[in-house]
Amino acid sequence: MQTFHTDLLCIGAGLAGERVAIEAAAAGFDVICLSLVPARRSHSSAAQGGMQAALGNCAMGEGDCPDVHFEDTVKGSDWGCDQEVARLFVDSAPVAMRQLAAWGVPWNRVVPGKSTYFKGGKLFEKEEKKDKEGLITARAFGGTAKWRTCYTSDGTGHTVLYTMDNRAVQLGVDVHDKTEVLSLIHDGENCLGAVARCLKTGALRAYLARATLIATGGFGRIYRESTNAVINDGGGLIIALDTGLVPLGNMEAVQFHPTGIVPTDILVTEGCRGDGGTLLDKDMHRFMPDYEPEKAELASRDVVSRWMTHHMRQGKGVPSPYGDHLWLDIRHLGAQHLATKLREVDEICKNFLGIDPLESPIPVRPTQHYSMGGVRTNKDGAAYGLKGLFSAGEAACWDMHGFNRLGGNSLAETVVAGMIVGAKMVEFLQGHQVSYPTNVVADAAKLQQERIQRLIARSDGSENVYMVRNAMFDALMQGAGIFRNGSDLQMCLDTLQEVHQRARQIGLRSNGLGANPELAMALRLPGMVRLALCVAYGALQRTESRGSHAREDYPERNDRDWLVRTLATWQPDSELPTLNYEPASQVWHIPPGERGYGGGKIISADSKKQ
Amino acid sequence: MARNLTFSIFRYNPQDPASTPHTDTFVLDETNHMTLFIALNRLREEQDPGLQFDFCCRAGICGACAMVVNGRPGLACHTKTKDLPDKITLMPLPFFTLVGDLSVDTGTWFRNMAKRVESWIHTEKEFNAEALEERMSNDVAEQIYELERCIECGCCVAACGSAILRPDFLGAAGLNRIARFLLDPRDQRTRREYFDVVGNDQGIFGCMGLLACEDVCPKHLPLQDQLGMLRWKMGWAGLMNLLPWKRK
Amino acid sequence: MSIDTAIYVQTPSRSSACLDWLQMLTGAGLILFMWMHMVLVASVIFGPGAMNTIAHFFESTYMAQVGGPLIGLVFLLHFVLAARKIPFRAEQQSRIWKHARMLAHRDTWLWLVQVVTAMLILIMGAIHMWVVLTDLPITAQKSAARIQGGFWMTFYLFLLPLVELHVGIGLYRIAVKWGFVGRDKRSKMKRFEYGITGIFIFIGLITLLRFYFLAV
Ligand SMILES: Cc1cc2nc3c(=O)[nH]c(=O)nc-3n(C[C@H](O)[C@H](O)[C@H](O)COP(=O)(O)OP(=O)(O)OC[C@H]3O[C@@H](n4cnc5c(N)ncnc54)[C@H](O)[C@@H]3O)c2cc1C
Ligand code: HEM
Ligand code: HEM
Ligand code: SF4
Ligand code: F3S
Ligand code: FES
Choose among C138, C148, C157, C152: nearest CA to C51. C138
Which tens digits make up the pLDDT trace of A92-135?
999 999 999 999 999 999 999 998 888 777 788 999 999 999 99
According to the model, what pLDDT value does residue C2 have?
Answer: 40
Domain positions in chain C are: 17-212
pLDDT at C114 over 60: yes
Burial class (CB in 10 A: 0-12, 13-18, 19+), B172: buried
Question: DSSP string spanning A411-477?
Answer: HHHHHHHHHHHHHHHHHHHHH------HHHHHHHHHHHHHHHHHHHHT-S--B-HHHHHHHHHHHHH
According to the model, what pLDDT value does residue A568 have?
Answer: 97
B60 in contact with ligand 4, CB cutoff 6 A = no
pLDDT at A504 over 90: yes
What is the CB neighbour count within 10 angstroms for residue A369? 27
Alpha helices in A186-278 (DSSP H): 235-241, 271-274
Q: What is the average per-residue pLDDT within B54-71?
A: 94
Q: What is the average per-residue pLDDT within A280-296?
A: 91
Strand A564-569 and strand A248-249: the pairing is antiparallel
**Residue A58's pLDDT band (boundaries 50, 70, 90)?**
very high
According to the model, what pLDDT value does residue B94 have?
Answer: 93
CA distance A119 to C49: 80
Which tens digits make up the pLDDT trace of A306-315?
999 999 989 9
Nearest to A109 among B105, B123, B138 (CB): B138
B169 Cα–ligand 6 center, Å: 25
Q: Judged by CB atoms within 8 Å, which residues 127-186 of C form the interface with B?
A: 173, 176-180, 182-183, 186
Ligand closest to Cα of A32 equals 1
State the CATH architecture for C17-212: Up-down Bundle (1.20)
CA distance B95 to B167: 8
Q: How far is A177 from chain C (nearest CA, A)?
A: 9
Choose among A348, A341, A321: nearest CA to A265. A348
Query: Which of A150-164, A367-381, B134-148, C63-77 has the lowest average pLDDT?
Result: C63-77
Q: Find chain B residues with C-beta within 8 A of A99's C-beta.
A: 127, 129
According to the model, what pLDDT value does residue B238 have?
Answer: 86
Neighbours of chain C (3+ CB pairs under 8 A): A, B
According to the model, what pLDDT value does residue C36 have?
Answer: 84
Sequence-ordered list of residues with C-beta below 8 angstroms from that of A380, at least 6 positions apart, any chain: A390, A420, A421, A424
C37 in contact with ligand 3, CB cutoff 6 A = yes
According to the model, what pLDDT value does residue A339 have?
Answer: 86
Q: What is the average per-residue pLDDT within C115-119?
A: 90
Which tens digits make up the pLDDT trace of B166-202?
989 999 999 999 999 999 999 999 988 899 899 888 8
Question: DSSP string spanning A364-396?
Answer: EEEEEEEE--EEEB-TTSBBSSSBTEEE-GGGE
pLDDT at B141 over 90: yes
Amino acid letter, B209: G
Which tens digits make up the pLDDT trace of A534-566?
999 999 999 999 999 999 999 999 999 999 999
CA distance A533 to A568: 10
According to the model, what pLDDT value does residue B219 have?
Answer: 93
Domains annotated for chain A, with CATH where assigned, are 255-369 (3.90.700.10)
Strand A122-128 and strand A204-214: the pairing is unpaired
pLDDT at C116 over 80: yes
CA distance A544 to B71: 56
CA distance A5 to A13: 18
pLDDT at A571 over 90: yes
Q: What is the average per-residue pLDDT within B63-91?
A: 94
DSSP A222: G
DSSP A506: B
Q: Are A351 and B60 in contact (CB under 8 A)?
A: yes
A486 to chain B, any CB pair closer than 8 A? The answer is no
Q: What is the average per-residue pLDDT within A320-335?
A: 89
According to the model, what pLDDT value does residue A532 have?
Answer: 97
CA distance A102 to A106: 10
According to the model, what pLDDT value does residue A394 have?
Answer: 96
| Distance spanning both ends of chain A, measured CA to CA | 63
pLDDT at B136 over 50: yes
Count of CB pairs separated by less than 8 Å, B with C = 127
B176 in contact with ligand 5, CB cutoff 6 A = no
According to the model, what pLDDT value does residue B1 have?
Answer: 53
Sequence-ordered list of residues with C-beta below 8 angstroms from that of A367, at least 6 positions apart, any chain: A225, A226, A227, A256, A257, A260, A265, A267
pLDDT at C1 over 50: no
Q: What is the average per-residue pLDDT within A57-68?
A: 93
B144 in contact with ligand 5, CB cutoff 6 A = no
pLDDT at A147 over 60: yes
Which tens digits make up the pLDDT trace of B145-174?
999 999 999 999 999 999 999 989 999 999
3-state secondary structure of B80: strand
CA distance C165 to C211: 22
- Show the 3-state SS of A516-584: CHHHHHHHHHHHHHHHHHHHHHHHHHCCCCECCEEECCCCCEECCCCCEEEEEECCCCCCCCEEEEEEC
**Residue C54's pLDDT band (boundaries 50, 70, 90)?**
confident
CA distance A462 to A473: 20
- Please give the ipTM for the structure prediction: 0.91
According to the model, what pLDDT value does residue C58 have?
Answer: 78
pLDDT mean across residues, chain A: 93
According to the model, what pLDDT value does residue B248 have?
Answer: 52
Percentage with pLDDT > 70 across chain C: 92
A2 to chain C, any CB pair closer than 8 A? The answer is yes
Query: Which of A220-234, A401-415, B51-65, C76-90 has the lowest average pLDDT?
Result: C76-90
**Residue A154's pLDDT band (boundaries 50, 70, 90)?**
confident
Q: How far is A105 from chain B (nearest CA, A)?
A: 9
Q: Cα-flanking dihedrals φ and ψ of residue A383, to 5°? A: -70, 150
pLDDT at A459 over 60: yes
Q: Are B224 and B214 in contact (CB under 8 A)?
A: yes
Any catalytic annotation for residue A273?
yes
According to the model, what pLDDT value does residue A295 have?
Answer: 85
CA distance B141 to A151: 11
C166 Cα–ligand 2 center, Å: 7
Residue C156 CA, distance from chain mean position: 13
Residues with CB under 6 A from ligand 1: A 11-17, 34-37, 42-44, 46-51, 156-157, 179-181, 215-218, 227-228, 231, 235-236, 267, 269, 369-370, 393-395, 407-412, 414
Q: What is the pTM of this model?
A: 0.93
CA distance A119 to C40: 71
Which tens digits make up the pLDDT trace of C177-188?
999 988 998 889
3-state secondary structure of B12: coil
Question: Exactly one of A40, A176, A221, A257 is catalytic; which is it?
Answer: A257
According to the model, what pLDDT value does residue A53 have?
Answer: 95
A463 Cα–ligand 6 center, Å: 30
According to the model, what pLDDT value does residue C3 have?
Answer: 46
Q: Find chain C residues with C-beta within 8 A of B242's C-beta.
A: 18
Q: Using the CB atoms, write b or e for A191-217: b if 16+ within 10 Å.
A: bbbbbbbbbbbbbbbbbbbbbbbbbbb
According to the model, what pLDDT value does residue B247 have?
Answer: 60
pLDDT mean across residues, chain C: 83
Which tens digits make up the pLDDT trace of C152-173?
888 888 999 899 999 999 999 9
pLDDT at A609 over 70: no
B219 in contact with ligand 4, CB cutoff 6 A = yes
Q: Find chain C residues with C-beta within 8 A of B215's C-beta.
A: 105, 107
Instruction: Please list the helix, strand and coil fractions of chain C in percent, rounded to the nearest 5, in that order.
Output: 80, 0, 20
According to the model, what pLDDT value does residue C151 have?
Answer: 82
